[in-house]
A and B are shown apart, each in its own frame.
Chain A
Amino acid sequence: MKLSATRARAIARKELREYRHNRQLVVTMSVFPLVFIITPAVQIFTQPASAAGPLAHTQVLVYMLGIPALVPATFASISVAGERQQGTLEPVLTTPIRREEFLLGKALAALVPAISVSYGVFGVFVAAIELFAQPAVASAVLHGPELLAQVLFTPLVAALSIWIGIAISARSSDPRVAAQLSVLASLPSIVVTTLIATGKIHVTPGLALSLGAALLLLDALGWRIVSPAFDRERLITGTR
């Protein structure tokens, strides 16, 4: 089976254009990340220099992996159910597009803003630490390996969240239900990042590598796992 990059790109471009025209969605997308910077902001900016020692043993920035877990879930959850509700799914499916191309296009469209927002917020937050936190606190919090892990894990976590969201969206008839379920489904990722950030789980390089490999594998297999959930007949007729 040969997939067409043109068709997948067409779906992604269309989605991004729709996001651009949908102010409500953009506002929601901008508000979500704020939730994930409250805890680290309180922990970092309110601490005196003497707190640098204990902070050096925490991984407080890992909180922010909640952003790539949650932001794309919103987009992914409406990707199929939203089209179905608008009545735009049938015309698209009458074209030569394969379901895999459709799903890849949708995933790509959710990934782009999710990564942009996650990296953007993270970058601004790191810059704010450098500029405004106590120098001792800043150097205790900003570890090179942790920053690298954040950069590498952001797309992996986002992609997993997207595939779960699309799978839910493909099975739901109501976009609101799909959105709620997708947020629920992203909670385990947020719980894990919170446990890491609060020091309940101590991440060793081996554990980080294993987690990364597992996420990479799930992401790579994502569209193959999700594809069977995308049943043209059920999506068009509401039967089966």
Chain B
Amino acid sequence: MISGADWNYPFTFGLCLVFILLVPFAIAGLALINTGLGRSRSAAQAMTSSLCLIGISALVYFVCGFKVQGYKFQPEFVGPLYHNLLSQPGLFFLGLGPGFASLAALLGVFSVALASLIPLGAASDRWRLSAACASTIVLAGCTYPTFARLAWQGLLAALGTKSGLGSGFIDAGGSGVIQVTGGLTALSLAWLLGPRLGKYSSSGMPTAIPAHNGVYVLFGCMLTWMGWLGLNSAGAILYAGLPPEKSVLVAINTTFSAAAAALTAAAITRIRFRKPDASLIANGWMAGLVASSAGCATLKPATAILTGLVAGALVIFAIEWLEFGLKVDDPCGSISVHAVCGIWGLLAAGIFSGDPGQFIAQLVGVATLLGLILPMTYSLNWLLGRIIPHRVSADGERQGLDLHELGADAYPEFVVHADEFMQR
């Protein structure tokens, strides 16, 4: 457990800052994945939305989100100003003080920006920019900080001391706080928006709408790997109290989990479709990264590989189940990758700890995500949709969001609009 006496403060602070500064690579990678898996005629809108959502989420989180979340893990560094929800106006008015609270605020700004891009993948090709911005205000100011507070310093964090459930809820890298919160928001929006035009035939069979740029997607995966190394390492130090010298374990666990998941996805698609599927391998890679986050500080490398193996298989079946069974149109597989595999990561951290109490603590965390965060995000986005309609008009969708919303195509010199899959 971290404490002022044990720490080499400047070294730990510097190392943690370097880790945090890697996180924007994950944001850039996710933006590339969302854009590449979407359609060519909405590519510029997807990237523009990503930039706008990053900006809005960072500002809203800094103005009020961090105040709701709080950071009182290390009171000897933090001081009394930053952790009293009711009596202080927050970082926006007080400024950043010294110590680990400022690092937690910076990590929070990047983490919430990452979370804000997750719904963009599920709502791709049909979500209005203005509605996306408004929805991100809700995510960064309300749902994300609410669960972050519960998980990292509230009810869930205290499960170990107050209820005797293992070490309390474990979520060092944010499988629950960042990924599942973003994934459940993505699910809510996919339900509220409905499928893209032409996605389902009149008999209810889904049509394949292929990714427009596989290279963006695969390069995005490599960028997210770098970002995830920073995200998990910084989270492990700031929220799980991992000594900095154990960051190597975090990096190994993160990489092994992603590798195992991607290879599992490659093997499954090779067996089922005779050829490995690039976009599903990319989703497998992301699923491994997402699942690694919760237990990155506590898993052993062997259990991290097992976590990745299950995540790689789970994501493929979840994508199919959502598309065929639940009729949820999720162009980028965001719900399967971030919500389903994030939940698996949380449960895996409990299962592989070997302590039944720890598993129950993780179950309480998942129950909070499903029982509190999902209804909250669904209701707030439903209400928002009454004021600012989420979905573009049918004409705008046919035209493509680049022309409809931005007035210019991403690839003006190429005729790449293929509508042969659309029903006439």
The answer to whether A and B belong to the same complex is: no
**Residues of A that sit less than 8 Å from B by CB:** none
